[in-house]
Amino acid sequence: MPELPEVETIKRQLHDRVVSKRIKSVFFHPDFGNTLKFRNKKDIENLLPGKEITDIQRCGKYLIFNLSNSNYLVVHLKIYGRLVINPRFTPPKDHVHRFSLILEDEQTLRLFDKSSLADVLLMSSQDLKNIQSRVGPDPFDLTQEEFHQRIMAALQTKIKEALLNQGIISGIGNIYVDESLYKARISPFRKSATISKDESNSLLEAITEALEQGIRNRGTSIESYYDAFGFPGENQKYLKVYGRQGQPCFNCQNPIILTEIGGRRTYYCSFCQPESQLSLF
């Protein structure tokens, strides 16, 4: 589910409800995670009660709760994770309740996950620095020049795979990458180093627009994502290629193609996003 716009939406919605609040207790559902996570689980149960959440931030697709003892509770929702505060409904049966964080004012933050891939980790400042150094810059923080440099460095890697690589640029996932490439009219199959400066400029602009639109619409809800209040986002109504296989391209009316790149489903228009620049003529 969650890419940058979804995590950013959750961060903004949670901010006023959790920042400056003290944690009363935490609870892990017995089905949470594997043995590796179990070790961290004990730390979280032991160390969190009594600590204050001093801030909430986002690093790529990671959501980070700053705690009063200079530790950080780091959440990654992976594919199906949902983080919901004060749900007033019974969550869908297929999403298992994995974790709860109860605040001093009795608000409850719950993590639901259909699989159990989502991570809840307790980190020191050093751990967090290691994460932050592995995660590339936010698209919103990049100049055209920096973006182009990073794309060029990906050499023979297909541009779609480069954009999905969180170390090159962070926050873009499988939906927004297809939307951005379509908007910039660049084939997802193009080798990164063949992207011209002009193309890279339009690509960064397309990425920025696609992500900002996603944030404005509180995220894209296709099969799993809900915002922090338990409501679906609206951005799925405005997607231009993702999920539109066989339907006419909004620009040229040719059918949108569904294929596979790097093991991920990939939607594109083979006319508007030609793989070879020669086919433009």
Partner DNA sequence: CAATCAACCTGGGTGC
Partner DNA sequence: TGCACCCAGGTTGATT
Strands 257-261 and 119-123: unpaired
Least Å from the CB of residue 234 to DNA: 11
Window 162-221: residues binding DNA (CB under 7 A): 164, 166, 173-175, 191, 219-221
Transcribe 93-129 into DSSP letters.
Answer: TTSEEEEEEEETTS-EEEEEESSS--EEEEE-HHHHH
- Report the residue from 1, 122, 215, 228 that binds DNA according to the rule CB under 7 A: 1
248 given a catalytic annotation = no
C-alpha 162: how far from chain center: 16
Q: How far is the CB of 275 from DNA (least distance, A)?
A: 14
CA 176, CA 160: separation in Å to the nearest integer? 10
Separation of alpha carbons 109 and 42, rounded Å: 18
Nearest approach in angstroms of CB 95 to DNA is: 8
91 binds DNA (CB under 7 A): no
**Which of 90, 74, 80, 267 minimizes the C-alpha distance to 188?**
267
33 binds DNA (CB under 7 A): yes
* The two three-digit tokens of residue 207, written as one number: 């990425």
Q: Is the dihedral of CA 171, 177, 183, 189 positive or negative?
A: positive
Q: Indicate which single residue of 156, 246, 278, 281 sits in contact with DNA (rule: CB under 7 A).
A: 156
In sequence order, which residues have a C-beta less than 8 Å from that of residue 218 and are 6 or more positions away? 9, 227, 231, 233, 234, 235
CB of 194 or CB of 208, closer to DNA? 194
Establish if 30 lies at the interface with DNA (CB under 7 A).
no
Query: Taking CB under 7 A as the rule, does residue 126 contact DNA?
Result: no
Binding mask 133-152 for DNA (x = CB under 7 A): -x------------------
Single out the residue of 115, 117, 166, 113 nearest to residue 139, CA to CA: 166
| Residue 126 one-letter amino acid | Q
Contact residue for DNA among 9, 23, 72, 76 (CB under 7 A): 76
Binding mask 213-252 for DNA (x = CB under 7 A): ------xxxxxxx-------x-------------------
Whether residue 2 lies in the annotated active site: yes
Q: Which residues contact 172 (CB under 8 A, 6 or more apart)?
A: 3, 4, 139, 163, 164, 180, 207, 211
- Of 16, 20, 22, 31, the residue at the interface with DNA (CB under 7 A) is 31
Closest approach, Cβ 216 to DNA, in A, equals 15
**Contact pattern from residue 36 through residue 75 relative to DNA, giving x for each residue in contact according to CB under 7 A and a dash for the rest:** x-----------------------xx--------------
Q: Among 52, 216, 264, 275, which one carries the catalytic annotation?
A: 264
Q: How far is the CB of 7 from DNA (least distance, A)?
A: 9
d(CA 5, CA 7): 6
Give the Cα separation of 198 and 144 in Å (integer): 10
DSSP three-state, residue 202: helix
> Which residues in this chain contact DNA in the complex, by CB under 7 A?
1-3, 6, 31, 33-34, 36, 60-61, 76, 78-79, 93-94, 96, 114-117, 134, 155-158, 161, 164, 166, 173-175, 191, 219-225, 233, 262-265
Active-site residues: which are they? 2-3, 61, 264
